């Protein structure tokens, strides 16, 4: 625990670093245009079916002038950035400094680096009109439940929330239905309908495109955290 002197000397100055991260990232992201964030494991290998699916999803989004946003690291993030870049689209990597595991991938043609997780999370949500959750670990689950909570509480618009991989997500969804909705009533009936589940890269793109068309004017991204 820091003492009073440490707080006076250090914490107020940290605000300027936080502000700088927001200013730099907002300035860059505001020029990206309509975008979709793809989450997933950093440990997924190129031979994995979910890696290949992430490449195809990002390629499909790029063909419709939708940028792909990822955490900028390896695995699923690399796959999505790779697909977007190969299709000539904007490939955004919001990379985070971590002691292990996270290194920026070479396919992000719009790289942004973060020190603070919370600043990075704001950028994921603020500049995206849809979210795809590929199979992943704690980080993916963290992002899924955080974005789902923001939609459920109407803090942000009802963006498409797409879980890719029926087999992977089936157990979690069944548990949520049984324990959270039916048995304990911790969530309301219909809350789980905020989530779509698919195994088709083409369906992912179609869901996003349908939502984009419902927005009205082309190229308009609903602003979260206004």
What pLDDT, in 10s, does the model give residues 84-127? Answer: 999 999 999 999 877 665 578 999 999 999 999 999 999 999 99
Spatial CB neighbours of 140, under 8 Å, sequence gap ≥ 6: 39, 40, 41, 133, 134
C-alpha distances out from residue 65 to 20, 32, 48, 91, Å: 29, 10, 26, 11
Predicted pLDDT of residue 1: 45
Confidence tier at 222 by pLDDT (50, 70, 90)? low
Using left for φ > 0, alpha for ψ between -120 and 50, and beta otherwise, residue 123 falls in: alpha
Predicted pLDDT of residue 162: 98
Q: How many CA atoms lie within 13 A of 37 on its CB side?
A: 28
Contact present, 53 and 84 (Cβ < 8 Å):
no
| CATH numbers and ranges of domains, the chain | 4-215 (3.40.50.450)
Contact present, 91 and 56 (Cβ < 8 Å):
no
What pLDDT, in 10s, does the model give residues 154-197? Answer: 999 999 999 999 999 999 999 999 999 999 999 999 999 999 99
């Amino acid at each position: 625990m820091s003492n009073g002197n440490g707080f006076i000397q250090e914490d107020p100055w940290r605000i300027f670093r936080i502000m700088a991260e927001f200013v730099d990232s907002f300035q860059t992201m505001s020029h990206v245009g309509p975008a979709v964030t793809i989450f997933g494991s950093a440990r997924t290998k190129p031979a994995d079916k979910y890696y290949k699916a992430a490449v195809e999803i990002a390629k499909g989004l790029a063909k419709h002038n939708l940028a792909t946003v990822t955490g900028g690291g390896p695995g699923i993030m690399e796959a999505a950035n790779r697909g977007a870049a190969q299709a000539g689209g904007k490939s955004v990597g919001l990379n985070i400094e971590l002691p292990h595991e996270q290194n920026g991938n070479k396919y992000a043609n719009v790289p942004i680096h973060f020190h603070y997780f919370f600043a990075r999370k704001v950028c994921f949500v603020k500049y995206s009109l849809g979210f795809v959750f590929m199979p992943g670990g704690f980080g993916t689950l963290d992002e899924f439940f955080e974005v789902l909570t923001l939609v459920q509480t109407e803090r942000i618009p009802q963006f498409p929330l797409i879980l890719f991989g029926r087999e992977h997500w089936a157990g979690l969804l069944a548990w949520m239905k049984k324990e959270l909705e039916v048995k304990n009533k911790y969530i309301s009936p219909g809350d789980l309908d905020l989530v779509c589940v698919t195994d088709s890269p083409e369906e992912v793109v179609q869901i996003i495109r349908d939502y984009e068309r419902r927005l009205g004017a082309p190229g308009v991204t609903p602003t979260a955290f206004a």
